[in-house]
Amino acid sequence: MSRTFTHIFNILVGILIVAEGAVYIFMNNKDGELHLRSMIMTALLLLAWGMSYRKQVVGDNASAWLIVTIIIMIPMILPWLFFI
């Protein structure tokens, strides 16, 4: 697996996590209160993604951590499947 693919893929995943978190936080913003559950979920996904990305860059088993990153993407993908 090339380093270029690793960086490009992980940057795109990070952007998607931030974008989807922003959508959920602002779409669920009712009566001027921020949606705490969306903020916590976004923070947890960003933390898990960051740890996985770091392990891919400095670790010796980058392929296994790429699979972890794909698993991290499941909570991002599932809500959109209900709209298709």
Which sequence spans correspond to the domains of the chain? 3-81
Per-residue pLDDT at 25? 75
Q: What is the pTM of this model?
A: 0.77
Helix (H, G, I), strand (E, B) or coil at 33: strand
- pLDDT at residue 59, as a whole number: 80
What pLDDT tens digit does each residue of the chain (84 aa) get? 688 888 899 999 999 888 888 887 777 776 666 677 778 888 888 999 999 999 888 987 888 888 888 888 887 777 666 664
Q: Is 68 left (phi over 0), alpha (psi -120 to 50) or beta?
A: alpha
DSSP 60: S
Q: How many helices (H) and strands (E) does the chain have?
A: 4, 0
